[in-house]
Amino acid sequence: MLSGTKCQIRLDDYLSLSDTYDMTMTEQIPVEVNAAPRNNRKLVAAAAIAAFTELVHVIGGGATIVNPLRDSALEDIPRLTLLAVWYIVTVAIGLSAVALFIASRPQHFEASRYLVMFISLMWIGFSLAFVWVAVVEGGSLITELNQPVLLMPVGVLGLWGLRNEKAPQHVDR
């Protein structure tokens, strides 16, 4: 609180006056400094990587997975099931990116904790599924199935964002 503080104001810059006026503040002026709460940067980064992963999935996966799968000689049921799974993953990646970004906002952070934990664990699970398939089924495919490079950071950043962030304190007015 400011009380009885003496201020000098020079007005000649504004009113072409050369006088200096002394003013004494006698009433108390409440000073409230509230910086706007910031987004959770770790969740913003997780959301950005998830959005980038969505682009890679749609563009790259369309050319390398969907088109060859459509043209494959697989029977209809397995072929169409695999196509549906590709589209399900597309939806899961996109919704994850949106949910992580919304959760990064201070006003939604606390209410989104369990959702962020679920999404993070899901992305870590996706990553480990690729590692498992590469090691067990392909052996040397671990270097070619590089999806964990994008999947694991989203999960880790999401969990890290939960661990180090406290819910913003709102000032009641």
Per-10-residue mean pLDDT for the chain, 173 residues long?
48 49 56 73 97 95 90 93 95 98 95 97 95 82 82 96 65 51
- pLDDT of 134 reads 87
Question: Contact at 8 Å (CB) between 43 and 157?
Answer: yes
- pLDDT of 14 reads 47
DSSP string covering 107-145, please? Answer: HHHGGGHHHHHHHHHHHHHHHHHHHHIIIIIISGGGGT-
Helix 113-132 with 41-61: angle, nearest 10 deg: 40
